[in-house]
Structure 1
Amino acid sequence: MAGADHNDIKRRMEGAVAAFKSDLGGLRTGRASAALLDPVMVDAYGAKTPLTQVANVNAPEPKLITVQIWDKSLVGPVDKAVREAGLGLNPVVDGQNLRIPLPDLNEERRRELVKIAKDYAENAKVAIRHVRRDGMEALKKAEKDKEIGQDEARSDGEKIQKQTDEMVSEVEKILAQKEEEIMQV
């Protein structure tokens, strides 16, 4: 099949779903998790850098996350990045460490977490649609280059669309489960 590599498309779409699941893993409901800070980006050395590349992140207790910052000059930027990450966390600076107590989840905080989960879901759907676009472009090129016929291009296009729909509905299903988990008191 010269048009689109369906296995590659499926693998890339599944990768987007896996990344989405990983992002959601950071939205632990009321329980500390080092993954909670995975999306935090720090202004370090003139560039946006993932927090995990400038510090060790641990969750030693159910309601506490600790961040050991390797470079003393980054304590301020890391503190600022955590506060501005939209996670509702207020770090306490302790030398080169941050102690981040996790607040109990009130109704407002739960809604914020659901909103973040929805953003992650939207990002995953966009990634899946990008893979679809790449596949469709490969089909159009193969058809234009006379590698495949119009009928094969159409049937391959329908397969790609079907895979896209399945993956998007998988994301929706995972999001619904996570929403329910977050809103549970």
Structure 2
Amino acid sequence: MDPEVSLLETEEKMQKVLEHLVHEFASVRTGKASPALIENIDVFVHAYGSQMKLKQLAVISVPEPRMLTVSPFDPSTTQEIEKAIRESKLGLNPVAGDRSIRVPIPELSEERRREMTKLVKQLGEEAKVGIRAARKDGMDEAKKMKADNDLTEDGQKDQEAEVQKLTDRFVKEIDDHVAHKEAEVMKV
């Protein structure tokens, strides 16, 4: 395999880990309303006989800074959507109206904010584990290319140095995202 292709594959794996982390952070509750907070809640719809994501069943809007409005495409799913939001681990209490569901976003207590920052740190650590796994794959590929005589010993060391540079860059990006999200969660 070409060393450049190997580096690109390693970088792509690391980028996917970072994108997943950013996606996960969108569902971590802060003090303000965001559709990303509830859009991935699983809702079991009896009429369809299947589990679906909330974003597939309704339009989620933010009419006020501390309020979400969920407007189901099919009004018969309102009760199931309301139940799914209530039973999610977000601590939300939805109120069903005639055509939509209002979801007030309560102020987070200090204790709850600290729990959320722990969750943010945990997600950051999981992402770093993913980055290290991609790093290991990159290093193994460099050793394999050396064994296959595609790289010299110096070429292998250069390749490993490039993989380490990628690792350091992505770990720093993860740390930046974690710090930003923690600040967002702790902001009153």
Structure 1 length-normalised TM: 0.78
In structure 1, what is the Cα distance between the partners aligned to 2:67 and 2:161?
49
Residue equivalent to 1:57: 60
Distance in structure 1 (CA, Å) of the matches to 2:126 and 2:51 = 19
| 1:153 to 2:156 alignment | yes
Root mean square deviation of aligned Cα: 2.9
1:58 Cα offset (Å): 0.8
1:43 to 2:53 alignment: no
SS, match of residue 160 in structure 2 = helix
Distance in 2 separating the partners of 1:42 and 1:153? 50
> Identity, % of aligned pairs?
38
5 Å-filtered alignment, 1:29-178, equals 29-44=30-45, 45=48, 48-72=51-75, 74-95=77-98, 97-178=100-181
- CA radius of gyration, larger in: 2
> What amino acid sits opposite 1:152 in the alignment?
G
- Matched residues, number: 185
Change (3 A) 1:165 1:5: same
Distance change in 2, residues 1:145/1:115 (3 Å): same
Matched residue type, 2:187: Q
Q: Tell me the equivalent position of 2:183.
A: 180
Q: Compared with structure 1, are the counterparts of its residues 129 and 80 closer, same or farther at alpha carbon in structure 2 (3 Å cutoff)?
A: farther
Superposed displacement of residue 15, structure 1: 4.2
Distance in 1 of aligned mates of 2:58 and 2:66: 19
Q: 1:99 to 1:172 in 2, by over 3 A?
A: same
Amino acid in the other structure paired with 2:70: V
CA distance in 1, matches of 2:131, 2:79: 37
Equivalent residue letter for 1:2: D
Task: Give structure 1 stretches of 5+ with no counterpart.
Answer: none
Pick closer, same or farther for the CA change 1:126–1:85 going to 2, 3 Å.
Answer: farther
- Equivalent residue number for residue 9 of structure 1: 10
